[in-house]
Amino acid sequence: MLDTEKVIIVEGRTDKKQIEKILEEEVDIICTNGTLGIERLEQLITDYDLDNKDVFILVDEDSAGHKLRKQLAKELPHAEHIYIDKTFREVAATPESELATALLSRSFGINPIFLF
């Protein structure tokens, strides 16, 4: 676990790997591995000090992703949402250039080779 000011919450490891490849700054990326129980969510909030960090939610555009986004938004009202185009459905299936543009729109440092 890094001690950074920014945290991105994603669903799975493939999402995390895809985002790590694009980023050029140190960011904690938390995998939820699907929906979260209240205790697990509370543990993540404590472990990562999420109440005092810039939190970004980047989940799939499917029913499981929508459910998770809603749950996280309730527990972390200060979190910002990053959306992918519905046509790609999954973060891991989204083209790198699309992800790079989405991350850049939230002021993340990204490797410029992924913009084209």
Quick: pLDDT tens for 43-95.
Answer: 999 999 999 999 999 999 999 999 999 999 999 999 999 999 999 999 999 99
Q: In the structure encoding, which two tokens stand for residue 95, read together?
A: 């083209």
What are the structural domain ranges in the chain? 6-107
Would you give the DSSP letter of residue 62? S
pLDDT in tens, 5-43: 999 999 999 999 999 999 999 999 999 987 788 899 999
What is the architecture of the domain spanning 6-107? 3-Layer(aba) Sandwich (3.40)
Q: Which tokens go with 10?
A: 């994603």
The pLDDT tens digits for 46-56 are: 999 999 999 99
Taking a C-beta distance cutoff of 8 angstroms, is the pair 32, 48 a contact?
Answer: no
